Amino acid sequence: MTQTHFTLNNGKSIPSIGLGTWQSAPGEVAKAVEFALKNGCRHLDCAWAYGNEAEVGQGIKASGVAREEIFVTSKLFELHHHPEHVPLAIRDTLKNLGLEYLDLYLLHWNINLEVDAPEGVLPRNEHRVKGSSGKFKLDVPLSDDVTPTWKEMEKLVDQGLVKSIGISNFNIYRTRKLLKEARIKPVANQVELSIQNPQPELVAWLKKNDILPQGYSPLGGTGKTNLRDNEVVQKIADQHGVQTANILLSWLVTRGINPVPKSVTPERIANNLKLVELTKEQFQELEDLSVSHPKQRVCDQSDSFEPDYDIYQENDPEFNDKVQFNKD
C-alpha cells in the first residue's frame, strides 16, 4: 500500500506529495492551487521569495477546501534572517496567503544577505547591499551560525503563528550544528532530491535523526525531461501503466522522502498525486540508477554572492556529507 502521509517528529502529519509553487508565473498559480485542492492535493509548498503567495492565497480561498484540511508550508527568505526581521516576515507571508497560521515554516537557505532597510521595515530586494564585485553581500557570521534566527522561529511556534519549523538546503554538518542549539528540533529539511541528486548519506542521516527529508526538483528541474525519458524509468512506468513522473515520485516516497513537484498544468498536477507500490526489484533498479546516473544539481547559489560561500560543502574534506555521515 502506498504511503499517503508522513509523521513529523512533533506528531503532526504531512501529506506525502506536495504541490510546489516555485517559478509559477503570475496569473497561473492561483488556478493551479485551486485545481490541485479541488482534485485531492492537501499539501502546498510556498515561499516568500517566489513572489506569488498572494495568488496562492487566492487559490486556497477559491477552492472552498477548509483551512484545517490543507498543509501549508512557506519559507523565511535569506533577506530576513536578522532576528528583528523574522516577525515581520511571517506576518507578511500570512497576510499574503490570507491565513492565520502556517503548518510548516522553513529557513529557506543557510545563508543570509546583508540588508540596508529602515528600522521596522521588512527588507525587500531593493534593500540588498552590493559588494565591490557587483554581487550582493553576504552576512557571513549569521550565515555561519543561524542560531539567532532559529530562536526567533521557535518563538513563532510559541505564539501559534506556525505549527512546525524546519530547514532547507542544510547539509549534515550544518544541521548537526543547529541541533546542538535548538530548543525546538526541525521537523524537516527540504533539499534537492532526485535520481540525479540522490544524496544518500544526507537522507539516511536525516531519517536516523527523525527529520523528514523533503525533495524539491524531484523530476530533475523545470523543463528538463532527461529523468522522465530514462529507459529504466520508462520500463517500470510501462509495467504499472503510469507516467514516468509517477515512478520518480514513488521512488522518493519509498525512500522516505516527501517530494514537492512543481506544476501549473492541470493534467500534471492531478497525475503527480498518483503513487504506485514499487516491487523490491523495481525499487532496487531505481536505486542502482541513482548511483550510476551522472550527478547534477539544479540549484546552487554558492558563487552568487560576495564572498563566495560553499553552501553544500560537497568537496570540503572535513564537512562533506560522506565524512560527516561516518562520524556518527
> What are the residue numbers of the active site?
50
CA distances, 240 to each of 77, 176, 234, 246, 274 (Å): 40, 40, 10, 10, 11
Residue identified by cell 532527461 is 226
H, E, C per residue of 61-125: HHHCCCHHHCEEEEEECCCCCCHHHHHHHHHHHHHHHCCCCECEEEECCCCCECECCCCCCCCCH
Cα–Cα distance, 60 to 179 (Å, whole number): 34
Grid cell, residue 115, equals 540588508
Cα–Cα distance, 185 to 271 (Å, whole number): 34
Radius of gyration for the alpha carbons in the chain, expressed in angstroms and rounded: 19
**Strand locations in the chain (E):** 5-7, 13-15, 19-20, 43-45, 71-76, 104-107, 136-137, 165-168, 188-192, 212-216, 258-259, 305-306
Cα–Cα distance, 37 to 34 (Å, whole number): 5
Cα–Cα distance, 68 to 59 (Å, whole number): 15
Q: Residue 105 pairs with which residues in a beta bridge? A: 74, 165
Respond yes or no on whether the N-terminal peptide bond of residue 307 is cis (omega within 30° of 0). Answer: yes
* H-run or E-run covering 249: helix 244-254
170 phi/psi in degrees, rounded to 5: -95, 140
